[in-house]
Every structure is written in structure tokens, then in C-alpha cells.
A and B are shown apart, each in its own frame.
Chain A
Amino acid sequence: MDGAKLKTESLSMAYSANAPYALKDISVDVAENSVMAFIGPSGCGKSTFLRCLNRMNDFVGGVRVEGRVLLDGSDIYAPEVDVTALRRKVGMVFQRPNPFPFSIRENVAYGQKLLGERNKSRLDEIVESSLSSAGLWEEVRDRLNEPAVSLSGGQQQRLCIARAIAVSPEVLLMDEPTSALDPLATARIEELVRELKKDYTVAIVTHNMQQAARISDATAFFLMGELVEAGPTTGIFTTPSDPRTEDYITGRFG
């Protein structure tokens, strides 16, 4: 498919030289300004896959990555790639909300400060617009200097989204961003994800199939490190082509 923002070609990955492959021959396209959900039973490699897309797996000593990951057509594993610049383009939100032990403002401004932005009014602007995009501005505008940990779990996760947005990424990777949240906070994040695709390309891992059905345009189903099937979400959930997908979404295993 052309117009894919992010694309993997025969991506295989193992955590060390003699470990079995955690991902096997994954080829998948994520279209620009869409939400793609990655589902599958736990341990099937969803997080591993996501962390290949912004090279967070580089920190695990001895990982082997084969195949290619293309962002706008260029391979992010090419030797000349600046990994820090890549990670600014491909932002990430983690499973557990992980705000820094700083103030709300400092959390959002962090990425810009890394880039050397010192202008206070410019930083304030970015903090406000990022928090607004994350749907958190109204709740925190009067308490920007309070510690981020004083926020509720759901607010913390939206803060983490704001923090990721603040460096103007093009892609947002989200690894089960609602698994630590209550249903109300989850609903807010889901609503937010649908909003975010106007400006960003979103790849979201979830173990919640209803969630995938509610928020995604495309869905990929992983099983034991392999991509079983990927396609438009409606198709996957109504007429899966692989019996294993059907078993999973009808809850016969998982």
C-alpha cells in the first residue's frame, strides 16, 4: 500500500544471538493519519514490535533485527540514522503512566528543553498547546507548577501524551496506554486517540479487543511473534480470514 507512513518489511527480531525470534517476518503498513491497533495474547510480541518502531530495543544488549522498518520510505535502522531524532519523530506512550518527578509544566517542556529551547514564552505556548491537544489543559491550567504525581492516573497518562506531543512527533506509539486506568479514564483516552489521528499516525497496542474495535481504522493480530492477519478493523472483526483470528476475537483463547 502506498501512502503508508510507517511500514515494516519482513521484520524479524530476537533478544539475543541465540534466543528464538520474538518477532518473525512481520510485514505491515500503518497508513498516515490513521489508528492501527495491534492485538494478541500477552507475550505474543506486541510490545517488542512497537519498541522496534522507535528503536527502544536498542538498549537491550545483543538484539538482532532483520528486515526493514520504513518511516516515510526510509529505513530507520540504516547506519546513518540519528536515533534521538528518530525518537522525536516517533513518540511513545507507555503502559504505566510514567511522568517525571517534576512539575506538570516541566514534564511537558522536557522534550523541548532537550532541544535547547530556553525562551520562556515559547515554552509556555508549547506547554499549553500540548496539554490542550491531550485534553488536559482545562484541568491543570491553574496548577502547572504542582508535581505531576499529584494528578490522577488517567490525568497522568494524558500528561504523558502531552509530553510526547510537545516535540511535534509524526507518529505516536502507545503500548496498552489504558491498561492501568479505570473505565472512565480509559474512555477519555480512547476519545483522545480518535482526535489525535487528525494530526498524527497512531500505532496502539491493546489487549482489549473492544477497544481496538472502537478506536482503530486497521487492526493487526499477532500470535507467538507472528503476524496472523492485518487489515481494516471492520473486516478483521466481522470476517476474519484466518481461523486463529476468529478464535481469538470470539474469546476461544487468549
Chain B
Amino acid sequence: MKTHFMRKTADLTATAALCCCMAISTAILGASLAFLTSKGWGALTWEFITEPPRAGMTEGGIVTPIVGSVQLIAVSMAFAFPVGILTAIYFNEYAADGTLTRLLRLAIRSLASVPSVVLGLFGFAFFCSFLRFGVSLLSAGLTLGCLAIPTLITAAETALQNVPQDFRDASYALGATQWQTIYRVVLPSALPSIITGGILCVGRVAGETAPIMFTGAVYFSPGFASSIFDTVMALPYHIYVLATAGTQIDKTGPIQYGTILVLLALTLGISMTGIVARSHMRKKL
């Protein structure tokens, strides 16, 4: 029989262990943020985010990769959102619960764990070569979309599953068809959490390098992409380039850390926008 003292000790130990782990996680986050900020803060000026790179990336700003990243996100989401949501609707609302459905679900779950560099090479082979989209904003955006789709499907499916059966019953009992019920009741109810899932995907997609480095992102581009068949500069790839190809580290170093801060701000900004949109939608419901 355990004594009161032993139970109390076990309780204290567990609490201490939990606090410790929490402290470690927080410290990692805090330290990396502090490190990046101290290194990159000096580079952050208005010119830095409004001017293109100059003199072999040793001077100027990063507006070209910022715009390029935004364009990539836009293309990838335009592709991934409809495909992801519609696939989730198919699985959750239409597909019969059979072996085939289960296999397909498993396939999609596995797709989520394909390393991004593999997806990048697939994108190169499929979008650039096979579909003849070339090395372009379109190919890179689609490849990033492929990366986002499995997560989006899972997020959307969970959201759809959480819509109470009561709502569907009420809709059908009023003479709605299946599609009307999905479109007018199920989707609007699920949308806030689908959007949350989508935001996380955007954050992930915005920071990926491997899927775009073969398919559409370039080392340097003199201007913005004006068509989806142009190449683009992108923030994560720009960081990669600065960190690996630079010979004048004293000059490129601050730019590199400045770019990292901008990339973090971008992904954080996207998340904040999504969270605000979500709470707004919650209020409306």
C-alpha cells in the first residue's frame, strides 16, 4: 500500500518534470527568437523590405522574394484549398465506408509524410516536364499545394466530422438534398475549423524550400513574376542561398537574418489574419 507521503512525492516529481519540460520548450523558442532578432534586427529598415537585392545580394532589400513568396502561397492555396476541401467532402459525406475508402485514406495519410525534397523532385518531373509548365511560379505553387493537400484534407475531414448529425437531420427534414445540406449547413459550420487547418498549412508551405528549389524558385530575378509561367524568388530559398552561397558573409549575414525575421513575420502575419477571420466568423454564426 502506498503511503500518503509516497503519493505526495510522486505528485511533486511529476509536477517538477512537467515544469522542466515546459521550461525547456519555452527556452528553445525564446533563445532562437532572441538569437535571430539580435542578428537580424539591424537589417530591418523600410528600404530592406521595399527594395530589390543589389550587388550580388550584398546590398539592397528583399522585396522580390517577399512578393515571390506571397505569389507562391496564393497559387498553392488556390490549388490546395478546393482540392483538399472537396476531397474531404467526398470522403466524409459520399464515400461508402469500405475497404477502398480505407485504403485511399491511408494513402493520403502516407502522402503527408513524404519528405518535401521528394515532392520537389516529383513536382519537377510532373509539373515542369510532363505537363510542360516549365520551371515556373505555377509549377512551384502546385508542388507546394501538393505538400499542403494531405494536411488540408485531414483538417477538413475532422472539421466535417465535428458537424453534429442534428444539423444534417434538420436540413434533410426540411426537404434539402444532400448537396444543399453540405453546401448550406455542413460547410458553413465546418468552415471556421477548416480555415484554421488551412492557416497552419499556409505557414508550413510559406517556409518550405525543397519543393520550390527545383520547380520555380530562382537564385536571382531582376523583377517580379508577371505571369504564372515566370520564375520567382522566394524567402526560404533566398535564406538558403544567402547561407550557403555567400562569399562575403559579413555583408550577407545581416541580410540573411533580416530575411529570416521577415519570413517569420510573414507566417505569423498569415496566422493572425486567419485567427481574426475565424473569430469574426464565429461571431457571425
- Known contacts A100-B185, A101-B189: A167-B285 contact under CB 8 Å: no
B174 adjacent to A56 (CB under 8 Å): no
Other-chain contact of B167, A88, A101, A115 (Cβ < 8 Å): A101
Contacting residue for A96 out of B166, B171, B175, B188, CB 8 A: B166
The number of residue pairs between A and B whose CB atoms lie closer than 8 Å in the complex comes to 61
Q: A56-B172, A147-B285 are in contact. List 18 more A-B contacts (CB 8 A).
A: A54-B173, A56-B173, A84-B176, A86-B175, A87-B173, A88-B175, A91-B173, A91-B174, A92-B173, A98-B166, A100-B171, A100-B189, A101-B188, A101-B285, A110-B171, A114-B174, A163-B174, A164-B174
- Name the prevailing secondary structure of the B interface residues: helix
Residue of B nearest to A84 (CB): B175
* Tier of interface size on chain B: 10 to 19
Q: How far is the CB of A93 from chain B (nearest CB, A)?
A: 8
Please give the residue numbers on chain B whose beta carbons come within 8 Å of chain A beta carbons, in ascending order. Answer: 164, 166-167, 169-177, 180, 184-185, 188-189, 285
Q: Please tell me if the beta carbons of A100 and B167 are within 8 angstroms of each other in the complex.
A: yes
In the bound complex, do residue A111 and residue B167 qualify as a contact, i.e. CB atoms below 8 Å apart? no
User: What's the Cα separation between A133 and B180 when bound, in Å?
Assistant: 26
Q: In this assembly, does A253 line the interface, its C-beta being within 8 Å of a C-beta of chain B?
A: no
Q: Smallest CB–CB gap between B110 and chain A, Å?
A: 29
Most chain-A CB neighbours within 10 Å: which of B164, B170, B171? B170
Alpha-carbon gap, A59 to B180, bound state (A):
16
With known contacts A84-B176, A100-B185, A114-B176, A94–B285 Cβ distance under 8 A: no
Task: Tell whether A1 is near chain B: CB-to-CB under 8 Å.
Answer: no
Chain A: minimal CB distance from B177 (Å): 6
Q: Which residue on A lies nearest to B165, using beta carbons? A: A98
CB-based closest 7 A-B pairs: A98-B166, A88-B175, A92-B173, A111-B174, A84-B175, A87-B175, A101-B285
**Smallest beta-carbon distance B246→chain A, Å:** 53
| CA distance in complex: A164, B176 (Å) | 12
A-B contact pairs, 26 of them (CB 8 A): A56-B173, A84-B175, A84-B176, A88-B175, A94-B166, A94-B170, A96-B166, A98-B164, A98-B167, A98-B169, A100-B167, A100-B171, A100-B185, A101-B189, A101-B285, A111-B174, A111-B175, A113-B184, A114-B176, A114-B180, A114-B184, A115-B175, A164-B173, A164-B174, A167-B174, A167-B175
